[in-house]
Amino acid sequence: MKTFYVALLCLLLAGCDSGDNSTSLDDTSGGSDNTSKNTAEENLLAADLYDRCAACHGVSAEKSALNHSDIISNYTSSAIKEALVGYKNETRNRHGFGPLMLGQVSILSTYDMQILSNYISAFNNPSTSPGLTQEELGERLYSLYIRPSCDLKIDEFTRIHTQSEWAELMNEDRFKQEIETLCPDFSSSVFSEEDILDLYTYIFESTVL
């Protein structure tokens, strides 16, 4: 059941045409966006909201969900919010999933949709970036991908090697292979090189000296 709801959330912002008259993200992504930036506290709240979308859209909203949606970080905050509001108001029905999406976005308040939209659009805009460090991004990657594959908390995982051993694995380009060995259900092919570096930074810094 959890997988089903995650899949629905992945389609939440899909922008491909399904024959309805709702506006796609492509139609609203241009021009300036006067939406205010999130505060640091709002970004923390938005990060929690976005966690449900990250498995399909990527940690930094850099992926096409299910190889079908737009890359949502390319769009302005106002365009993303318009899509969310459209689903909630039942005026958007991409892929015919409008009625299903209504059940997901109905839990979001207007404030939730605003800070979530700001958060997503900020990934590709340095002036409004959420400002997550490598270690923070790595922590999210570990929580979303590694822990479900290994069922190990970070303190259990990092006890497997010392910091010097993790560093040696990274320097010898064996870090990805080691992660896959420790977590047979995980494939590093879903990670970019930047993702790997973020994950390594989190694991290295979390390892007790």
Domain boundary among 128, 151, 167: 128
Q: Is 20 a member of any domain?
A: no
User: Domain range spanning residue 37?
Assistant: 2-14+30-128
In the chain, where do the E strands start and end?
none
What local confidence, expressed as pLDDT, does residue 39 receive? 82
> How far is Cα 124 from Cα 154, in angstroms, rounded to an integer?
29
For the stretch 73-88, pLDDT in tens is 888 899 889 988 998 9
Q: Is the dihedral of CA 60, 61, 65, 71 positive or negative?
A: negative
What local confidence, expressed as pLDDT, does residue 21 receive? 45
Mean pLDDT of the chain, nearest integer: 77
pLDDT at residue 175 tops 60? yes
Domain boundary among 109, 128, 147: 128
Q: Is 24 a member of any domain?
A: no
Are residues 110 and 142 both part of a single domain? no
What local confidence, expressed as pLDDT, does residue 115 receive? 92
For the stretch 1-47, pLDDT in tens is 444 444 444 544 444 344 454 445 544 444 445 456 888 788 878 88
pLDDT at residue 183 tops 80? yes
Task: Read off the CATH number of the domain in which 34 is found.
Answer: 1.10.760.10
Are residues 124 and 150 both part of a single domain? no
pLDDT at residue 89 tops 80? yes
Q: Is 25 a member of any domain?
A: no
Are residues 6 and 100 both part of a single domain? yes
Number of domains present in the structure of the chain = 2
